Structure 1
Amino acid sequence: MQARRIKYDVIGLAEPRRRHRFNAVYDTGEELFLGTCDSRGVGGVGVLVNTSLSMNIDSFEQLTTRIGRLRLRRCGSTPALTIFVVYAPTSNYDEEEVEAFYMDLERFYREDHTFSIGDFNAKMGPRRTFEERHNGAHELEWNEQGERLSEFIMTTKILHDNLQFQNPHPQRWTW
């Protein structure tokens, strides 16, 4: 399993394309949750939880085919935590589907906000205004998904951390 090569607590999985829900507990104590895709075979999200946190799992729910929610119970000094796992539509999708995704995400976030991880299929270019202070200085261009993600970040006032680090060009996978 590739995950054993890295140090992690929770890994968000995008687009496993499963027709049926799947949950497994491995001999190592790691726990895997996979949600389902839509009727076109698109989407689905899941999480892999490391042994160190698996005892704190309260629940994993697939809220839509593109949004999942992992809830972890409070344990000692570690507070209760909610993590949203997402797989946003690519720029090939209709604007209505992209907008519906962000409306769902915003609604779920307002109900129970903490962390969102996943594949937003977004390119967020350099800062254009002061309000876009969540943007890093390393991306060169924007796409429509980047515009929408930027709106979501400014509306919900969440912290966006991935753009603060420069990745080599071959490691940038969004189109």
Structure 2
Amino acid sequence: MDKDDLNPQWTYTLACESLIGDFTMQARRINCGVIGLAETKRHHPFNAVCDTGEELFLGTCDSRGVGGVGVLVNTSLSMNIDSFEQLTTRIGRLRLKRCGSTPVLTIFVVYVPTSIYVEEEVEAFYMDLERFYGEDHTFFKVIIGDFNAKIGPRRSSEESHIRHIGTHGLEWNEQGERL
């Protein structure tokens, strides 16, 4: 598996089973091992193996209909699945194994609260993520998902050592600062 095998994708909603078939058909066009899903808005968990071998895991949203994370695992990696757990309505964990039963890669799929949420809720999310990340003992860990972050250009020459994705963003938001 290389870096191109991980791809966060955001879907409007996968709450209805009728939309899942359309989604998996479109996902086959993406040459990607694992697609992370955020804001799936499901009220009941869902797990399915597609006719072509992909495996889909969808977690649930909260009582307000917010959140829900999941993953779609490509046929080439589906035999390596150890487990998928929804840790919170905004954090999921996919564990993949190589040979044997020991997980070697953990992929955390996240859906970060937007800046309009109260600071306590955003802080609680990051504390949960940090705790789950620290408690996980696999050697390789990746975090993918919707960070609701805007990351703009560097602000000064002193920040040139800071790495971030792209230099062409127009602005920053609080989530971008935190990220």
Please give the TM-score of this superposition, normalised by the length of structure 2.
0.77
SS in 2 for 1:48: strand
Give CA-to-partner distance per residue, 1:46-96, whole Å, 9 cap, x none: 0000000000000000011000000001239xx821000011111221111
Which of 57, 60, 65 is matched with 1:33 structurally? 57
In the alignment, what sits opposite 1:155? none
> Quick check: 1:18–1:34 contact (8 Å CA) kept in 2?
yes
For residues 5 and 135 of structure 1, the distance between their equivalents in structure 2, rounded to whole angstroms, comes to 25
1:51 pairs with 2:87: no
In the alignment, what sits opposite 1:141? 171
Give CA-to-partner distance per residue, 1:79-130, whole Å, 9 cap, x none: 8210000111112211111111111111112222610111000011223425
Which of 101, 125, 128 is matched with 2:152 structurally? 125
Q: Which runs of 5+ in 1 are unaligned?
A: 150-175
> Quick check: 2:151–2:164 contact (8 Å CA) kept in 1?
no
Instruction: Report the CA distance between 1:133 and its aligned residue.
Output: 2.5
For residues 39 and 133 of structure 1, the distance between their equivalents in structure 2, rounded to whole angstroms, comes to 37
SS in 1 for 2:123: helix
Alignment of 1:9-158 (within 5 A): 9-75=33-99, 80-112=104-136, 114-128=141-155, 129-130=159-160, 132-149=162-179
Q: Which has the higher strand share?
A: 2
Instruction: Report the CA distance between 1:17 and its aligned residue.
Output: 0.8
For residues 127 and 104 of structure 1, the distance between their equivalents in structure 2, rounded to whole angstroms, comes to 29
RMSD of aligned alpha carbons: 1.7
In the alignment, what sits opposite 1:161? none
For residues 144 and 135 of structure 2, the distance between their equivalents in structure 1, rounded to whole angstroms, comes to 17
SS in 1 for 2:134: helix
Count residues in correspondence: 147
Instruction: Report the CA distance between 1:135 and its aligned residue.
Output: 4.8
> Quick check: 1:17–1:44 contact (8 Å CA) kept in 2?
yes
For residues 64 and 33 of structure 2, the distance between their equivalents in structure 1, rounded to whole angstroms, comes to 31
Give CA-to-partner distance per residue, 1:133-164, whole Å, 9 cap, x none: 23531212110111111xxxxxxxxxxxxxxx
> Quick check: 1:28–1:51 contact (8 Å CA) kept in 2?
yes
SS in 1 for 2:44: coil
Please give the TM-score of this superposition, normalised by the length of structure 1.
0.78
In the alignment, what sits opposite 1:171? none
SS in 2 for 1:70: strand
For residues 63 and 44 of structure 1, the distance between their equivalents in structure 2, rounded to whole angstroms, comes to 10
One-letter code of the match for 1:143?
Answer: N
